[in-house]
Amino acid sequence: MRAPGQLMSSWSALLCALGVLFSLFSFGFAVKENDFKKCHQSGFCKRNRDYADKAVAQGSSWQAPYKILPTEASFKDGLFQATILKTIDEEGTTVELPLTVAFHKSGTARVTVDEKRRQEKNIELRHSSQARKERYNEAEKWAIVGGTTVDVDAKTSYVGETGIKIQYGPDSTFEASINYNPYSIEFKRDGSAQLKLNDRGLMNLEHWRPKVEKPPAPEKKEGEENAEDKKEEPAPEPVGEDESTWWDESFGGNTDSKPRGPESVALDITFFGYEHVYGIPEHAGPLSLKETRGGDGAYTEPYRLYNSDVFEYILDSPMTLYGAIPLMQAHRKDSTVAVFWLNAAETWIDITKAKESKNPLSLGKGPKTNTQTHWISEAGMMDLFVFLGPTPRDVTKAYGELTGTTAMPQEFSIGYHQCRWNYVSDDDVKEVDRKFDRYQIPYDVIWLDIEYTDEKKYFTWDNDMFKDPISMGQQLDAHGRKLVVIIDPHIKNTGSYPVIDELKSNGLAIKNKDGKDFDGWCWPGSSMWVDCFNPAAIEWWKSLFKYDKFKGTMENTWLWNDMNEPSVFNGPEVTMPKDNLHYGSWEHRDVHNINGLTFHNATYQALLSRKKGELRRPFVLTRSFYSGSQRISAMWTGDNQASWEHLGAAIPMILNQGISGFPFAGADVGGFFGNPEAELQSRWYQAGAFYPFFRGHAHIDARRREPYLLAEPYRNIVTSALRLRYSLLPSWYTAFYQAHQDGSPIIRPMYWTHPSNEGGFAIDNQFFVGSTGILVKPVVEQGKTTEDVYIPDDEVYYNYFTYQRLPTAKGQTLTVDAPIESIPMFMRGGHIFPRRDTPRRSAQLMKFDDYTLVVVIGKDGTAEGQLYTDDGDSFDYQKGEYIHRTFKLEGSKLTSTDADGRDPKSIKGGSWLKNMRNVAVDKIVIIGAPTSWADKKEVRLEAGGKQSTVKLEYFKGDASRGPFAIVGRVGASIGADWAIEFA
């Protein structure tokens, strides 16, 4: 969203400000779609789509011009190396493209293709550019952290003139079959083809060529200007290739000088027999990605990845948004495979689904669907990873090994966050804090948007409105609460501001194409951008956050990084010119999608070093992200709207983040733009209570809407949703831990939890919370009092609140009551999950509360679950200071044991662990307790080598409640082994 900045000295700035003002007042709630390119306006996208059309039109006579000479190929120690020759003219002239296929111990395979001539820097740059000559090859520095140890045991099963077959992966069940002419690679698992690179021969790597100046076109005489428009005579066919977008390209009044000429990389990838593909966030559309070129309900544009400040974004669209994760998973019954396209430049992805012609022998079975994808990036080398599954869990795990898993969060950060643009003063913040308490509504964090600063100069405070930030921070701290302040990457270009002086004098700003500090327009008016690709910039950035430098901040102050796509109001597509230069002389074009990550990384590093000797987990929220961002931040889905449609759209978006390795995700609860009516706001809190990142936020023009302002019954409804979230914090924290361990999503879609159940593959409006077995289907439609919920298996399911059992309905959709005061929420049999049932003001104040365990007995009479907890703040968990329990109900015995097999007595630790010794399992609720327990009054507990009895109460159920049992006042220490015998 734009707001008027300050007047600047130059006319251009004034015009820009007027444009900004105009856009502010001219908005209806619709994205300015025309501010952003369509494929045909992005030269390389159009060229590659045209290339694909040409290939498809030629059918089987299409000859892909890429081949490998067998004599030049070698395979040794898990690495296949060759040169791909690209034939570039009728005479057979070729260019050399070095290829490496690496087979990793982790089971992934990596395929990289570069261009020899650019590798050797043997090209000429135009316009005296200072840019690097190579294709960008440093994306891995930012995205990859492991999983690339080469598997020296990978072996060939065939070597011949036409190609080579390499077996690798678990028990050598994976195979890469590299075909030499035309070049393609087919990947198999257990002998069956899963996916193929260059299957349709659409691979295209635009090689370097010098610009051949053509004689200028004859000048038009007066009156001839619109000659083309008259279309009386067709224009003559241009000779040779269409170079119109090779050497420079204009859009929206900005011209990209493209000093290296055309250099796109494109490849088609076919997934055999796969009807569903998921991933490649960030887009506002369904989880199961749509076709982009024909087909029912298809989009007409490819999915685009070019991180952008797309305010008021449209829904059900392949349009780019703020972040990019180029990971795509393909799924069919019992099989998942994936591709990770490691490229940081503007990228477009076309998806089509092709039915194979029906095999007359496949009696009754429908024809197979292949999903065909076409990946097109503007620059960089071709670099991709192939995952062969076979389960969704295998893929997310392997991707987690590669790019890292979500960080263990600050415990407070999984509580509720209260934000708006803006809380206007320190008194305002204190008052909001008091009101939450007065109405007994829990929250953990209050946020300050850009207006807290002195004229948008970050690291300063507006001295009139925020006279005493420390006393504000202290009031919050008294109840264990935190403050998050925003710091954006644009630095106000103005006098008497040390931050800009230091940025300039240290040479740490992003440069324009001429090597001068780039100056653009953002919130503060004229601004410069810190170049966080530069290690020196990170060091400098760190210095700005020290408590004694950024005065007014304290131990409970944390950070929000916004506008880091980067958003540049007067730049092409609201971002930076592509020919801007970064550290290492890389063009912005090369690194654009990683830019946001480098910024929030610098902030993360800064938070690690605010004070000597203080080492705590940073909390940073980012708007822009790339693969790897999950290791160091949380994200939210940007500027949504207070509409029912946006409430609905947020769920597939957050699910998509989860399966794409970045599960610490949320959407602005209540909607950023506009004013939600009470029903919408209530439903949004009910849904938001299940976002891994749970924050209410509102635009500066939106009315105040802190939950306590709602009239009854809505205030109570929202308070209940918040308390529900808080009671389940132990389960959420455990789900974060699991995500941290193996990359698993925190909220999980049906295909991920039930990969065999085809009915669930397209469902993206309900989910499970971690491994708790809690199934949620938020209501996202106005006036609804019932909700349809899909049951993915034949386990028993119970209503979360009434314990009533749902009818068995595997693969069916059940209609359940969902009046405004209730959330459709169910418990799947077979799970045990932890809760803390005493409502308090903040997560911090619940830290040493006793636990409740909920045991939901499964069809077979068993149940199992976990609890993970640690101090929620330091890195001591890495030294073993944590509690990780497995709870199991088997036969008539419920046990708690260390999930990692440690002897609890051997675990040494500091004050947190000591305090936890006094934290107990207080209550155990057993859902689906057998009627044979009806007469039981007590059960036997064995804890710490001692036997005792504890009370059991059995409720046989009535019209409003299902049967259950409660074991009360158990008293066993949460970290200790114990067992309860029910027999």
**Three-class DSSP category at 640:** coil
Distance (Å, rounded) from C-alpha 330 to C-alpha 288? 9
Pattern 633-672, binding to ligand NOJ, x per CB under 6 A? Answer: -----xx--------------------------------x
Q: How far is the CB of 450 from ligand NOJ (least distance, A)?
A: 4
Pairing of strands 482-486, 557-561: parallel
Nearer to ligand NOJ, 672 or 887 (CB): 672
Q: How many CB atoms lie within 10 A of CB 419?
A: 23
Q: How far is the CB of 509 from ligand NOJ (least distance, A)?
A: 21
Contact between 421 and ligand NOJ by CB under 6 A: the answer reads: yes
**Three-class DSSP category at 602:** helix
Residue type, 734: T
- Is 562 marked active-site? yes
Nearer to ligand NOJ, 619 or 714 (CB): 619
Q: Which of 186, 444, 565, 590 is catalytic?
A: 565
From start to end of 143-227, where are the E strands?
Answer: 155-159, 163-168, 174-179, 184-189, 192-197, 204-205
Contact residues for 120 (Cβ-Cβ < 8 A; gap 6+): none
Nearer to ligand NOJ, 672 or 964 (CB): 672
- Is 565 marked active-site? yes
Distance (Å, rounded) from C-alpha 303 to C-alpha 860? 45
Q: Could you say which of 268, 383, 444, 562 contacts ligand NOJ (CB under 6 A)?
A: 562
Q: How far is the CB of 284 from ligand NOJ (least distance, A)?
A: 14
Q: How many CB atoms lie within 10 A of CB 782?
A: 12
Residues in the chain: 983
Q: How far is the CB of 683 from ligand NOJ (least distance, A)?
A: 21
Q: Which of 186, 411, 579, 639 is catalytic?
A: 639
Q: Could you say which of 135, 189, 457, 623 contacts ligand NOJ (CB under 6 A)?
A: 623
Residues contacting ligand NOJ: total by CB under 6 A: 11
Nearer to ligand NOJ, 354 or 432 (CB): 432
Distance (Å, rounded) from C-alpha 43 to C-alpha 33? 18
- Of residues 687 through 726, those in contact with ligand NOJ by CB under 6 A are 697
DSSP letter string, 833-875: EEE--S--SSHHHHTT--EEEEEE--TTS-EEEEEEE--SSBS
Q: Which of 562, 668, 706, 922 is catalytic?
A: 562
Q: How far is the CB of 486 from ligand NOJ (least distance, A)?
A: 6
Q: How far is the CB of 421 from ligand NOJ (least distance, A)?
A: 4
Q: How far is the CB of 530 from ligand NOJ (least distance, A)?
A: 17
**Three-class DSSP category at 228:** helix
Nearer to ligand NOJ, 705 or 777 (CB): 705
Nearer to ligand NOJ, 67 or 697 (CB): 697
Residue 953 token pair: 């109460």
Segment (H or E) for 768: strand 767-769
CA 672 to chain centre: 19
- Of residues 489 through 518, those in contact with ligand NOJ by CB under 6 A are none
535 φψ region: left (φ > 0), alpha (ψ -120 to 50), beta (else):
alpha
Q: How far is the CB of 496 from ligand NOJ (least distance, A)?
A: 23
Q: Please report how the helices 588-608 and 535-544 are oriented relative to each other, as an axis angle in degrees rounded to 10.
A: 40
Sheet holding 797-799, edge to edge: 747-748, 767-769, 774-776, 825-828, 797-799
Q: How many CB atoms lie within 10 A of CB 344?
A: 29
CA 244 to chain centre: 36
- Of residues 914 through 953, those in contact with ligand NOJ by CB under 6 A are none
- Is 639 marked active-site? yes
- Of residues 224 through 263, those in contact with ligand NOJ by CB under 6 A are none
Q: In angstroms, how far is the first alpha carbon of the chain from the final one?
A: 63
**Three-class DSSP category at 959:** coil
Q: How far is the CB of 519 from ligand NOJ (least distance, A)?
A: 20
Nearer to ligand NOJ, 94 or 453 (CB): 453
Nearer to ligand NOJ, 24 or 615 (CB): 24
Nearer to ligand NOJ, 306 or 726 (CB): 306
**Three-class DSSP category at 911:** helix
Q: What is the set of active-site residues?
A: 562, 565, 639
User: Which residues bind to ligand NOJ, rule: CB under 6 A?
Assistant: 1, 421, 449-450, 486, 562, 623, 638-639, 672, 697
